[in-house]
Structure 1
């Protein structure tokens, strides 16, 4: 949880990955393989009309949603010369 200055509390979804690699300055590294999947289903209907047996099917909609995501993070380190 994270609390803002105005007192609003935000939920933070945290996913972690840990690895050790060696790359040259300017080369890009891809960190990936964090998958998430969300399934939702629900019903929308016209009040009262959607509850009528047989006829109610004309006034309602049953929905299903399947969402899949993959998180890939690209990192390009660059060495900065100090003066």
Structure 2
């Protein structure tokens, strides 16, 4: 997060904000080596508030979809019966990044 404060008249502060959230992406294979990509979300905004007021920012969301598989070795690989000894589950989650900022003049 980058914050650039600009002090104005009447105890007001203008904030130039650049907020980013990086998360691991998919693995990329190139030339025999594996590299991890990075997913980046970024917002830029400008706000003017009074000295000592609290600003709440939200709006950067992260969604995840995961598949989990559980199985009993050997029994899960049996033809026709293997499905009785394994379980697959999909998990979906959504998170929001919320930031509170309280600038104070010193």
> What TM-score does the superposition give when structure 1 sets the normalisation length?
0.70
Q: Which residue of the partner structure matches residue 56 of structure 1? A: 82
Q: Which residue of the partner structure matches residue 56 of structure 2? A: 30
* C-alpha deviation, 1:42, in angstroms: 3.1
Say how many residue pairs are matched. 70
**Equivalences for 1:65-76 in 2 at 5 Å?**
65-76=91-102
Q: Secondary structure at the match of 1:50?
A: helix
Q: Determine which structure has greater relative contact order: mean sequence separation of CA pairs < 8 Å that are 6+ residues apart, divided by chain length.
A: 1
Cα deviation 1:46-80 (Å, max 9, x = unaligned): 11101113322332111111011111111111111
Q: Which residue of the partner structure matches residue 5 of structure 1? A: none
- Where does the alignment leave 5 or more consecutive residues of structure 1 unmatched? 1-10
Distance in 2 (CA, whole Å) between partners of 1:14 and 1:41 is 23
Q: Which residue of the partner structure matches residue 3 of structure 1? A: none
> What TM-score does the superposition give when structure 2 sets the normalisation length?
0.57
Q: Which residue of the partner structure matches residue 79 of structure 1? A: 105
Query: Higher strand fraction: Structure 1 or Structure 2?
Result: 2
